[in-house]
Amino acid sequence: MKAAVWHNIKDVRVEQVQEPEVLPGQVKLKVEWAGICGSDLHAYSHGLSLEAHPISGQKPPLTLGHEFSGTIVEVAKDVTGHVVGERVAIEPLIYCGECYACKRGYYNQCSKVGFVGLNRDGGFAEYVIVDEKMVHVLPDHVSFEEGALVEPTAVSFYAVRESKLKPGDSVAIFGAGPIGLLTLLSVKAAGATQIIVIDLSEERLEKAKELGATTIINGMRDDIVETIQQLTNGGVSVAYECAGAQPTMTSAVASVKQGGQVMAIAVFAKPIAIDMGQLMFKAADITSTLAYRHVFPEVIEMIGTGRLDVKQVITKKIELDDIVEEGFNQLINDKKQAKILVRPISD
């Protein structure tokens, strides 16, 4: 079968690999659609750990892709909760189930946490093997394209749910990439009435406006904080940091009102400084989330009812053969792109 295999930095090859076999507790999917994530871009541009993952036992070269939907084509004999033919989305977290976090139900904080597609062969392939516990059934009226967006939507949805946001609140979202845009949809569904989005790209800001942002601000401006404070009469209730950079975190801290909150969603590539004095004088707080836990069913339901119209974030669909040039490189160079979906098997 064909798969997009990471070999080294800037070296992802679409090549023929052996079709995987089902082991106990596992199911085999025909992958329908898979989304390219910022983590995939980071792996492409900056690399993956070359060490074998402590749970999966796998190390590069491996197949990328952790945002995907598919059809079950085979189940292990001991799998009783799923059957061949089911349409499913995959929750790709790898966790031990034995550590302190796992025993409390906080499996996303597992001391050995990993991802299918980053620490084990993933969804940029015609077929993939996943554990039974990763499988979530899609209703018939939820498309496979929407199914591929359940995973990134869960990241934003979980962060918004864990934040202090209440209906009627004002928010600022720093960064209008896919996670920022999905955060926009999530805060809108949660009842935020004033939604300010900040980004360097005018194209991404226009997409944010299309999705429901009440105000868009170019990140090159030097009056971002002052503008937010004027618009909100003193600052936003919650600032969501979806860019993972020092300037946006600095602005996020300065943009929240007294008693407000900064929620960090993005992954930061290096340590940053935070003005604790500002937080103290505002009695504000700063927190973060990693991935998600226990939210996939709720996210699927909200997509199915239309409360989260994630289709709006899709900007391009491509074939697996084109994943490097039309996928990774396009996302790096073309800021008009938000979520690019990949079809491993052509009709």
- Percent of the chain whose pLDDT exceeds 70: 100
> What pLDDT was estimated at residue 260?
98
Mean pLDDT of 316-331: 96
Count of beta carbons in the 10 Å neighbourhood of residue 187: 27
Of 36-50, 99-113, 133-147, 226-240, least confident by mean pLDDT is 36-50
In a domain, 302, yes or no: no
Residues in contact with 104: Cβ distance below 8 Å, sequence separation at least 6, in sequence order: none
**One domain for residues 13 and 54:** yes
DSSP state letter for 77? T
**One domain for residues 177 and 217:** yes
H or E element at residue 166: none
The amino acid sitting at 297 is: P
The CATH number of residue 49's host domain is 3.90.180.10
Give the count of alpha carbons within 13 A of 115, CB side only: 23
**One domain for residues 136 and 170:** no
CA distance 46 to 55: 23
In a domain, 95, yes or no: yes
In a domain, 299, yes or no: no
Q: Is the peptide bond before 54 cis (omega within 30 degrees of 0)?
A: no
- Per the prediction, the chain carries an average pLDDT of 97
**One domain for residues 177 and 276:** yes
**One domain for residues 7 and 138:** yes
pLDDT confidence band for 346 (50 / 70 / 90): confident
**pLDDT reading at 269 higher than 90:** no
CA distance 87 to 208: 30
Q: What is the pLDDT of residues 141-170, one digit of tens each?
A: 999 999 999 999 999 999 999 999 999 999
In a domain, 297, yes or no: no
Written as six digits, the tokens of 230 are 């004027």
pLDDT confidence band for 329 (50 / 70 / 90): very high
Question: Do 3 and 124 form a contact (C-beta atoms < 8 A)?
Answer: yes
Helix (H), strand (E), coil (C) string for 169-181: CEEEEECCCHHHH
- What's the pTM value of the predicted model, to 2 decimals? 0.96
Beta strands in the chain, from DSSP E residues, in sequence order: 2-8, 11-16, 26-35, 62-63, 67-75, 87-90, 93-94, 114-115, 127-131, 135-137, 170-174, 194-199, 215-218, 236-241, 256-264, 285-288, 314-319, 339-343
In a domain, 294, yes or no: no
For 31, 133, 187, 286, the CA distances from 278, given in Å and listed in that order, are: 48, 43, 25, 11
CA distance 152 to 68: 10
Question: Do 66 and 31 form a contact (C-beta atoms < 8 A)?
Answer: no
**pLDDT reading at 226 higher than 90:** yes
**One domain for residues 6 and 141:** yes
CB burial of residue 88 (10 Å; 0-12, 13-18, 19+): buried
Q: What is the pLDDT of residues 75-90, one digit of tens each?
A: 999 999 999 999 999 9
Residue 10's domain comprises 2-148+309-343
**pLDDT reading at 347 higher than 80:** no
**One domain for residues 79 and 192:** no
Beta strands in 132-255, from DSSP E residues, in sequence order: 135-137, 170-174, 194-199, 215-218, 236-241
230 closest CA partner among 253, 255, 250: 255
**pLDDT reading at 271 higher than 80:** yes
Q: What number of residues does the chain have?
A: 347
**One domain for residues 53 and 80:** yes
Mean pLDDT of 264-269: 92
> What pLDDT was estimated at residue 335?
85
346 closest CA partner among 4, 33, 17: 33
Which of 89-106 are b and which e, b meaning 16 or more Cβ less than 10 Å from the residue's Cβ? bbbbbbbbeebebbeeee
**pLDDT reading at 227 higher than 90:** yes
CA distance 147 to 334: 25
**One domain for residues 190 and 115:** no
Which of 298-325 are b and which e, b meaning 16 or more Cβ less than 10 Å from the residue's Cβ? ebbebbeeeebebebbbbbebebeebbe
The CATH number of residue 234's host domain is 3.40.50.720
**One domain for residues 31 and 94:** yes
